[in-house]
Chains A and B, each alone.
Chain A
């Protein structure tokens, strides 16, 4: 792997390679360049993850012509597909070096230990949402109970914006979460559930189920579950599978005649009751 990266850099296939470097026992995200080829010996793979594709997007905003190599898991590939669709990167601008991946309904080849859910505590199991459960198990609960459990999770929010800041899909120049007309400012907890639902709605057609938001959340809100529900609805309602290809734009998924041939949304919503 190190040899591949060295070759890419020396031959000019890429200008920079985004991966992880071991610093005092901690894998830290790092940009490797041909000026410091020796550093590549310290490049590591493993369970550590960070939003490397977000760095790539930001680098391309500053250097639109740069060629970027990136250490990629399945979720990275999904992210690049969606970023291409949303015109944040151009096809072929980013070259991936594939490594093994984490458990996700959207992928296989799994070894991401950070995503092994910690044991769910008794109080959380009784009052909150257990992120280690499947969406299907959660949805078997009565709607009112589910609502109460989600509200328990949301009221822990300390409005750190960690979910947004780490998200490879949060590239908007203006963020709805910072629009006072949508979400009130200056309070803890933030306006709930609207803060989390605004973000969830914006994840439709974007969330690539990397789980970094949930990993970043200091309040351990099972955000991944929330956005999985959104993806689930995108699949059921529109046959849209976020990140599965770089071609299917959400703007064209309805075709020429919007709503024809699609099940009405109310059917999906009433099914869950």
Chain B
């Protein structure tokens, strides 16, 4: 997030796109409720009708994968009415002309034809967003999990900058992170191309600094993304896979394809709290300590790094992740002799000058600090880009709309999107074992509009067969009139009805390599 949770309560308008916030980020939804009840405007754009839609001043259901068109349409209306922040664009940004040139063609009528959103609603969205500053934009996986994921994000940034909403309290572009510490994992260099604090491995100075600190020459070429690892496993270029805190057997796209790749490995190591689907087929399982059994820090969506404190000793043979990695490295002839998580934090902050250098365990206290925090006097940063953008001037990107990789056709006439249920978390390893959460959603299901259900002659609870170009599965029907006809929704949590049997591992964003989990073309039939 460029901004902070607290900030949302001070927004004049909140625009939520591609986030089922009450189900997936309930404590952010709380802030939205508070802002709304104080008088802020709320815009909700989602292919499905969601709980937040009921509270919105403007609520639209745009066709799956049509986000760029919708956002360009809003910007077209804003520019046509002169609602853009002209001074801000002149002084703080660049490349606006290129954007304007593209926006010309995105008239509300054309955008209606692409997105299915009425021209009048597009105009109302534009007016509501532009005329109620500061406006905060919130998004989640509904924006990113597309072949145009990067384009979608850039379009969100375009809209925010066009109205001068980046670098101000109550505004911003705010991706809601899917896990408590996914921000922290990325900050720590848990990506194939960067060290901590996003210092590129290919940067000679950064590489030299880390090579010296760790006493070994480090590769200066980026490694593989997970989407690139799977073909490499199939080709035999990757022979061993070490999976920490992830359950790719369920969460990776194209289940059949991924399992072929897993079978090709010579060694699979899983490190997890529970015996997940992946751990069940691993050659070696390292039992990892849970949050209650370890010390360390988490960094959340608002870039806040906060401490966690061990409440009990690890149960059984479990160890904190860093202890397992240290032992493994030591066994592989690279001795790691850290005494505590705090010692590792000290090493990390010394190597991460711009964002984490000013944080110490003592300063983090109970509330933590938000990066960037470059020195020990720095109070942390509630919102980014306040005086100028990290790169100097904010750059507009001229983006044209593109269809998703797969559009419905005669063979596969339905749109399918995958997502989450309020009671469960990702592949369910932690939530399906809870009696109370299991009560809410014990089995997988597919949401289908009652009109479609009538056409294929099924009712609530009846089994249907879903098929795509990748595979097929059987699952029970749940009728949902808030889903547009022609669209299906499948939750991702259930191994026995794995949504990824149907998704594609080839439909990737070309830059981020994120799979298009949010759009597939499928057929649905009554099970015989």
Contact = CB atoms under 8 A, between A and B. Distances in A.
Interface in B67-115: none
A161 B22 contact: no
A218 B421 contact: no
A161 B436 contact: yes
B226 interface: no
Interface in B442-464: none
B27 A218 contact: yes
Contacts of B366: 23-26
Interface string B35-69: 01111000000000001001100000000000000
B34 A220 contact: yes
B56 to A, nearest CB: 12
A188 B54 CA distance: 12
B422 interface: yes
A23 B23 CA distance: 31
A220 B22 CA distance: 14
Q: Pick from B27, B38, B54, B478 the residue with the most CB of A within 10 Å.
A: B38
Q: Is the interface of A mostly helix, strand, loop or mixed?
A: loop
27 contacts: A23-B366, A24-B365, A26-B366, A121-B38, A122-B38, A123-B36, A123-B38, A155-B51, A155-B55, A156-B33, A158-B23, A158-B422, A159-B422, A159-B440, A160-B26, A161-B436, A178-B436, A178-B439, A185-B439, A185-B440, A186-B421, A186-B423, A186-B441, A188-B22, A189-B51, A218-B27, A218-B30
A25 B440 CA distance: 37
Contacts of B22: 158, 188
A166 interface: no
B33 A219 contact: yes
B119 interface: no
A123 B39 contact: yes
B459 to A, nearest CB: 16
Interface string A150-188: 000001101111000000000000000010000001101
Interface string A240-257: 000000000000000000
Given A23-B366, A158-B422, A186 B440 contact: yes
A186 B436 CA distance: 11
- Ranked 8 nearest A-B pairs via Cβ: A121-B38, A124-B37, A121-B37, A24-B366, A218-B30, A122-B39, A186-B441, A158-B26
A185 B478 CA distance: 12
Contacts of A160: 26
Given A158-B29, A218-B30, A219-B30, A188 B23 contact: yes
A219 to B, nearest CB: 6
Contacts of B38: 121-123
A188 B422 contact: yes
Q: Which of B33, B423, B441 has the most CB of A within 10 A?
A: B33
A128 interface: yes
Nearest to B424: A186
B39 A121 contact: yes
Given A156-B55, A218-B30, A219-B33, 19 more contacts: A23-B366, A26-B366, A120-B37, A122-B39, A123-B37, A123-B39, A128-B37, A155-B55, A156-B33, A158-B23, A158-B26, A160-B26, A178-B439, A185-B439, A185-B441, A186-B440, A188-B22, A219-B30, A220-B34
Nearest to A180: B439
Interface centre among A24, A120, A218 (most CB of B within 10 A): A218
Interface string A2-31: 000000000000000000000111100000
